[in-house]
Structure 1
Amino acid sequence: MANILTVTLNPALDLSVEIADLTLGEVNRTGNTRLEPAGKGINVARVLARLGHSVTVTGLLGEANVTAFERLFAAEGLQDSFVRVPGQNRINVKVAEPGGRVTDLNGPGFRMPADALQRLEFRLASLLPDCDAVVIGGSLPEGFPPSGLAELVQQANRAGKPVWLDASGEGLKAGVEAGPFAVKPNTDELSGWAGVPLKDMAAVETAIARIRARGVPHVVVSMGAGGVLWSSPTDTLRSWVPPVSVVSTVCAGDTLLAGMLHGVLACQPDDAVLTFATALSAECVQHIGVGNPQAPDFSSLLQQTRVQPWPGENNTGEMPL
């Protein structure tokens, strides 16, 4: 198995709740409720650790409410190498309704200290030699410039480590220009990067081609119920997700990225990589939290997941969402 480094710049404590029907202005009774540390890089790390990899987590972590994060890292077998900064990490509320609709209430977090980027780059310098791949994911904390994210990508590039980037907004724009090995936007994030609505598969393909033209070899676009489109130097593949009962889509993209990286590092065939990652993401949406490769129904989901070359004879250009 591989040694993987994940970078989370803006961690959060996520309060996830299931509710039958959200009624504004009224008292609502919740079902399953869970409070746990999160952030894209942390979520990806948890899945990778469950898949047997050795994972080190780093980034910036607020000191005021750090205990829950430290407990999670110990419980999940993650090596904690976060740079501690003054202030508290965000507290987010995610309300999941039947059918997969999620309402996010995202709170403010710490403001980045002036020396934080320098401290983080120094930490990365000691961690990069021993890792096989780097994942940089999530939003940027207040005061963290998008150019700083680009600097982290370039630092890993100089060390010869492939960077998998999952960001949005200005962070995604700056990160793409820095030349990561792979990017994994969803359709909303890809639309924001492209600056135009993505109304059909042709528009998605055009946006992917623009990113590839900037020197990014791999673009993985998650399209919800429309599956996943993966464009690489060798081919373009599309997966179709098996039918599942959707509870929460919150960690689906992070689980997908972890599944992709797992297969790529193992040098599996492309169709096998995408099948596994898509099926694991489908398992994830059936409950709150990250995907579980040991789930009882995972083998069935694998068998039901379809992957085909894109475009192909039986493929259509329908709206992906």
Structure 2
Amino acid sequence: MTRVVCVTPNPAVDVTYRVPVVEPGASHRVADVLERPGGKGVNVARVLQALGVPADVVAPLGGPGGHWLAGALAEGGLAVRAVPVAAATRRTVTVVDDSGAATAFNEPGRPLSAAEWASVVAAVTEEVRGADALVVSGSLPAGAPDDLLPRLISAARAAGVPAVADTSGPALLSAAGAGPALLKPNAEELAAAVPGLEPADAARRLLALGAGHVVVSQGADGLLGLTGDGAAWRVAAVPGVGGNPTGAGDATVAALVRGLVTGAPWPDVLADAAALGAAAVLEAAAGEVDLAAYARFLPTLNTERLA
């Protein structure tokens, strides 16, 4: 059975507040509160689980929030490899109003020691043995080693497992150099890492560094996907979809890694990723997808080759 290992270097307890309207400087009566395990790798794992793909979560967890997060994931049916750390796990708060607009407040992750990061790498090295794919997703807390992603990707490659990374900043470039099967930046992250180039050319720069595939989330412009030979493909976004975009990228990653594992044709993988990302926008919390909407969206999407 397929098994994907999902690493979240910067996990969080995600808190979502729903209010009628957000007014700066005003007090708000919260209509509904939702607490969920968070972090991009956690979200990817939950979407994979919804798709029937077993996923294991590896994350550094500490303090009461970390204890709660590990228990909540296990109660939700996900296998958890918690790496104990001294720092308390952070919280994030997203405020969603009745229009569907989402305003996020993301605490920074607390720094970990070199020994704690070594424990994370050791845990991932063990978990990827016998797995079918590795996903490393999300930001890095302050002070994380510059070579953290290359070490994780190299562990996967040594085990013969394809690695997918969704990150930003210098980590995106260092991840590319380690030879991942796929990188998934959004347009802003790609422009910041490889400035001054059109998206397709910037993505080809990541391919030249060592990435096998690059998929760029472009919001209303859909997905741009490049293969190792530099061929560029695009699938348009599903029109008229509004809601909470927080977990759309994570759902996209889940579809991409599933496509890599199953060996689906590249145009089909991109269309599947676009449909699943749109279905995630309809849900109030990241890590959830509207599977009925996903089934409706998928037949409407076509992937075109650009070059």
Equivalence for 1:217: 212
**Per-residue CA distance 1:20-55 (angstroms, 9 max, x = gap):** 432111123445532211111111011111212221
Equivalence for 1:258: 254
Conserved? CA contact 2:73–2:79, under 8 Å = yes
- SS of the aligned residue for 1:53 comes to coil
Structure 1 residues 292 and 303, CA, compared in 2 at 3 Å: closer, same or farther?
farther
Of 296, 300, 303 in structure 1, the residue corresponding to residue 292 of structure 2 is: 296
Measured in 1, the distance between the counterparts of 2:277 and 2:114 equals: 37
**1:235-250 alignment runs, 5 A limit:** 235-250=231-246
- Alpha carbon RMSD of aligned pairs, Å? 2.1
Equivalence for 1:158: 158
- SS of the aligned residue for 1:115 comes to helix
Conserved? CA contact 1:64–1:86, under 8 Å = no
Measured in 2, the distance between the counterparts of 1:60 and 1:289 equals: 22
Equivalence for 2:63: 63
Measured in 2, the distance between the counterparts of 1:195 and 1:263 equals: 29
Give, in angstroms, the shift of residue 273 of structure 1: 1.5
Give, in angstroms, the shift of residue 259 of structure 1: 0.8
Equivalence for 2:25: 25
**Per-residue CA distance 1:184-225 (angstroms, 9 max, x = gap):** 0001111111134x6xxxx11110111111121100101111
More displaced 10-residue stretch of structure 1: 177-186 or 147-156: 147-156
Equivalence for 2:118: 118
- SS of the aligned residue for 1:60 comes to strand
- SS of the aligned residue for 2:128 comes to helix
Measured in 2, the distance between the counterparts of 1:37 and 1:282 equals: 21
Structure 1 residues 245 and 17, CA, compared in 2 at 3 Å: closer, same or farther?
farther
Equivalence for 1:315: none
- SS of the aligned residue for 2:303 comes to strand
One-letter amino acid of the counterpart of residue 236, structure 2: W
Equivalence for 1:14: 14
Structure 1 residues 92 and 295, CA, compared in 2 at 3 Å: closer, same or farther?
same
Conserved? CA contact 1:63–1:84, under 8 Å = no
Of 278, 285, 307 in structure 1, the residue corresponding to residue 274 of structure 2 is: 278
Give, in angstroms, the shift of residue 76 of structure 1: 3.0
One-letter amino acid of the counterpart of residue 8, structure 1: T
User: Once the two structures are aligned, what percentage of the paired residues are identical?
Assistant: 31
Conserved? CA contact 1:86–1:110, under 8 Å = no
Equivalence for 1:173: 173
- SS of the aligned residue for 1:146 comes to coil
**Structure 1 gap ranges (5+):** 312-321
Give, in angstroms, the shift of residue 101 of structure 1: 4.5
Measured in 1, the distance between the counterparts of 2:301 and 2:99 equals: 20
One-letter amino acid of the counterpart of residue 282, structure 1: A
Give, in angstroms, the shift of residue 97 of structure 1: 4.6
Equivalence for 1:314: none
Give, in angstroms, the shift of residue 229 of structure 1: 0.7
**Structure 2 gap ranges (5+):** none
Equivalence for 2:202: 207
- SS of the aligned residue for 2:192 comes to helix
Measured in 2, the distance between the counterparts of 1:193 and 1:304 equals: 33
Q: Which runs of 4+ in 1 moved over 3 A?
A: 18-21, 29-33, 96-102, 290-294
**Number of residue pairs matched by the alignment:** 306
